[in-house]
Amino acid sequence: MKIGIIGAGAIGSVLAGKWAKNGHTVSLANSRGPDTLADLATKLGVRAVSVEDAVKDVEVVVITIPQKNVPQLPEGLFRDVPEGVVVADTGNYYPSLRDGAIAELEGDQTESGWVAERIGRPVVKVFNSIISHSLDQGGQAAGSPGRIALPIAGDDARAKEVLIGLVEELGFTGIDAGPLSESWRQQPGSPAYCTDYDEAGLRSALARADRARSVAARNTTEKWLPTLSKDTTPAEIVKRVREIEDPAG
Ligand SMILES: NC(=O)c1ccc[n+]([C@@H]2O[C@H](COP(=O)([O-])OP(=O)(O)OC[C@H]3O[C@@H](n4cnc5c(N)ncnc54)[C@H](OP(=O)(O)O)[C@@H]3O)[C@@H](O)[C@H]2O)c1
């Protein structure tokens, strides 16, 4: 497939490298321009492009930038992008740690619903609920015991199918997590969020989600994350996240 990725950080670069290795044609953009991505692009086997070019002549666009930066994307970015192009959003809202308070997200709107409104285009929420280390290292063949499952929420069945395929080929079980209005079930603080559950565990976690409790757990996580040392292992992070978000799990 032809895939454009906006955001070349922890998540964008892992996705880009893995999909390129699998034979997809990947273009990668950041906020500072393609010249600043030349070395990374060579290493990953992708093309460094501008944000505007990342949405041109592609079948899938992945937006993987901080939530607060979404309104900085160029005005009308998707105006000429054909309707059939799938747009995925990996974003999460961290008001204290990174994004500042966003009024709509302090209310009822889902994080990805807000993104869709900002860019004027439906999105699918995916890859938001796995830490970059697990995304990079945690993939396993289909059928492996404990294979990590990822939720995929959106309103377009075909778009979700495309993304389930792209999730599965990275070694994760893709689960249709319902419409975008239900995507709060995989937002930060929810039992499904960065807990690396397998399919049965994820389905149960999505069903058990409680929105108010998730916000409280996210607030706790926001205080805890800055205390991590460089010696904290990814396994310790996932274990602590499970304790905070899903004490009953
Ligand atoms: N890190 C994780 O483990 C993880 C896991 C799941 C989901 N997420 C979520 O996924 C999103 C990306 O996270 P990340 O950790 O990969 O971020 P990151 O490492 O901080 O990288 C952010 C990337 O976004 C680019 N960017 C920022 N504003 C942009 C703009 N206006 N236009 C184009 N590119 C822009 C940055 O480019 P410049 O460097 O040029 O500014 C950078 O390449 C966030 O919403 C995050 O919450 C993260």
CATH of the domain at 116: 3.40.50.720
Residue 73 lies in a domain: yes
Q: How many domains does the chain have?
A: 1
**Residue 11 CA, closest ligand 1 atom number:** 16
Coil, helix or strand at residue 212: helix
Domain range for 170: 66-183
Residue 39 lies in a domain: no
**Residue 132 CA, closest ligand 1 atom number:** 3
What pLDDT digit, counting tens, does each position of 53-89 carry? Answer: 999 999 999 999 999 999 999 999 999 999 999 999 9
Does residue 32 have its Cβ closer than 6 Å to ligand 1? yes
Residue 174 lies in a domain: yes
Decide if pLDDT at 98 tops 90: yes
Max CA separation in the chain (angstroms): 48
* pTM of the full structure: 0.98
Mean per-residue pLDDT for 197-205?
98
Q: Which among 6, 30, 72, 119 is the best mutation to test ligand 1's pocket, defined by most ligand atoms within 8 Å of the CB?
A: 30
Residue 194 lies in a domain: no
